[in-house]
Amino acid sequence: MDSTTLIAVASIVTAGLSTAIGCMCPALGEGRSVATALTALAQQPDASPTITRTLFVGLAMIESTAIYCFVVSMILIFANPFWNHIIAQSAGH
């Protein structure tokens, strides 16, 4: 296996793992935070505007983690910085 194929395989596997783990973990975190918020709303219905506002801010922050993992995956697949290094080495030989 040459270095170009090795970098392609490593990039695709890393992009897949980044997307898989980067989507599962925030989804679990979002589910847990919503469940906790619903419990808090059941116990303190008067505090619902504050709990809801805090919940939405927290969900946005959790979701940003999944978006960052998606962006890293797209960079590895479509704009891989390692390709320039391999192309420069291939041109030099």
- Please report whether residue 88 resides in a domain: no
62 and 69 Cβ atoms separated by less than 8 Å: no
Would you state the pLDDT for residue 18? 93
Q: Token pair for residue 50?
A: 């504050």
Cα 13 from Cα 25, distance rounded (Å) = 18
CATH code at 69? Answer: 1.20.20.10
- Please report whether residue 89 resides in a domain: no
- Please report whether residue 19 resides in a domain: yes
What is the mean pLDDT of the segment spanning 64-71? 94
* Burial class of residue 86, CB neighbours in 10 A (0-12, 13-18, 19+): middle
Integer angstrom CA distances of residue 66 from 4, 26, 81, 84: 29, 6, 21, 27
Total domains in the fold of the chain: 1
Mean pLDDT of the chain: 90
- Please report whether residue 62 resides in a domain: yes
Domain that holds residue 53: 3-83
- Summarize pLDDT for 43-56 with one digit per residue, the tens: 999 999 999 999 99
Enter the pTM of the model: 0.75
Q: What is the dihedral of CA 82, 8, 62, 67, to 10 degrees?
A: 80
- Please report whether residue 90 resides in a domain: no
Please indicate whether residue 35 or residue 82 has the higher confidence score (pLDDT): 35
